[in-house]
Amino acid sequence: MKRKSLAFRLVIGAALWITAAVLAGGILLSAVFRNYAERAFDTQLSALLDALVAGSTVQPDDTIKISRGPNDPRFEQPYSGWYWEIMDDQGLLVRSRSLWDQVLSPDLRLLGAGRFQELVGKDTRLRVVSRDVTLPGSDLTYHYVVTGDRAEIEREIRSFNVTLAWSLGALAAGLIIAVLIQVRYGLSPLRRIRAALADVSSGRSNRLAGEYPTEVDPLVEEINILLDNNAAVVERARTHVGNLAHSLKTPLSVLANAADDPRESGSLAEAVRKQVATMRRQVDHYLVRARTAATGAVLGARAEVLPVVEDLARTLARIHAERGIAIDVEGKGGLFFRGERQDLEEMLGNLIDNACKWAATKVRVAIVSGTGRIVVTVDDDGPGLTPEQREAAFGRGHRLDEAVPGSGLGLSIVKDVAALYGGKVSLHSSPLGGVRAVLEIPAAEAAAA
């Protein structure tokens, strides 16, 4: 795994958390076991002390006789660390054979009844419990002391810690291996996506195929959409280039023939002018289509319709001010076109400009919303068109009246651009007496605004 990979980050993060959790758990378990071992040891010392007291008998001279001592052979082994002794106020009365010729510290008399403490010697560390007892047959108070070698506790704790370390280490290693397997299995769809993208890049496939988990499937769908859009854009670009080349061949042939024919020398300038104008219209037309094809499938592009209509209305009203054309805009804000603002301006600008050219005094633009669509209607009070003329108006380069300025490409461009976005444009009779142009375009979700 590379250090920048997602799998490396997941495994390292999990390994750090597992290690921290195992260390914390080990420390806690070790402390709990130590406390348990010490309490068990103290309980054993208390039981031995009780047995020593139960086996003690007071003699007539106030001395103590042990009829039955603690039943533990370690009290018989010299310097075993397991000792007992009984004292009165005058000093030592009796002790275990394990003490041999030694005595415990006199300071143990100061230890309260039932209390535990540590007695540290040169080579030993003893755990001590003591009790002040008054026996039947005597008014004296006797001080009983029992000790045990703390090394036994430490051996048990050390053995437990070794076992605990091996167990938790094996657990941590197993968890890390499990996380590694889980990460590799969980990220396997991403490796499949990478392999599928390599197939697309090498030309072996044109989209990501196969089934993917629910969490990854939206990503695969978006990539496939982008691949399909890219293929469509490339195909449109090829088509536009071919169409443009085909459209320019005829004017160029006319110019070449006119230049070669001596009879046409007098009208060559006029032929050049007409054919250049034709070629300019064709170039403008296909440039608009090529740009729209390249941007029409851009994800996330959006433009609010009402501000675009209002800006165009102000601009065109100034352009046609000498004719006194009034442009009314009806509609509400918050409606967004799912596409580029420049393409929206291209479509609406052509429709409103055409309406202004043919209108007598008034143009009305209305914006309404439908189910996933936005409908823009442009009405004028001009002379209107017959059904045949409305159908022919969408022909490329077709002009209904040569006296009206224009290239004859406006409606054709609007139709092509709307189609690239999945929309459409149509012409109808207007209630104002002229023509009504209806543009339907896809709407973006208002919530995304």
**DSSP secondary structure, 201-254, as one string:** HHTS-SS--S---TTTHHHHHHHHHHHHHHHHHHHHHHHHHHHHHHHHHHHHHH
Highest mean pLDDT among 159-168, 226-235, 323-332, 435-444: 159-168
* CB distance 136 to 58 below 8 Å: yes
Report residue 26's pLDDT band, with 50, 70 and 90 as the boundaries: very high
Question: Counting Cβ atoms within 10 Å, is residue 162 exposed (0-12), middle (13-18) or buried (19+)?
Answer: exposed
**Which carries the bigger pLDDT value, residue 296 or residue 41?**
41
pLDDT of residue 385: 85
DSSP, collapsed to helix, strand or coil, labels residue 173 as helix
Alpha helices (H) in 265-320, listed in sequence order: 268-295, 305-319
pLDDT of residue 447: 40
Res. 365: pLDDT tops 50: yes
**Interval 145-154 mean pLDDT:** 90
Which conformational region is residue 217 in: left (phi greater than 0), alpha (psi within -120 to 50 degrees), or beta? Answer: alpha
Whole-angstrom distance, CA of residue 142 vs CA of residue 65: 12
pLDDT of residue 448: 38
Report residue 156's pLDDT band, with 50, 70 and 90 as the boundaries: very high
What's the fold here for domain 303-448?
Answer: Heat Shock Protein 90 (3.30.565)
Report residue 282's pLDDT band, with 50, 70 and 90 as the boundaries: low
Report residue 395's pLDDT band, with 50, 70 and 90 as the boundaries: low
* CB distance 411 to 425 below 8 Å: yes
Average pLDDT over all residues of the chain: 81
Q: How far is CA 433 from the centre of its chain?
A: 57
Whole-angstrom distance, CA of residue 341 vs CA of residue 305: 9
Whole-angstrom distance, CA of residue 445 vs CA of residue 201: 33
pLDDT of residue 401: 44
pLDDT of residue 321: 86
Highest mean pLDDT among 39-43, 281-285, 294-298, 402-406: 39-43
**Interval 380-400 mean pLDDT:** 74
pLDDT of residue 232: 76
Report residue 178's pLDDT band, with 50, 70 and 90 as the boundaries: very high
**Interval 261-267 mean pLDDT:** 59
pLDDT of residue 404: 42
Task: Determine phi and psi for 207, rounding to 5 degrees.
Answer: -160, 170
Q: How far is CA 106 from the centre of its chain?
A: 72
Residue pLDDT, tens place only, 50-106? 999 988 888 888 888 888 878 888 888 888 889 998 888 777 788 888 888 887 766
CATH number of 6-157: 3.30.450
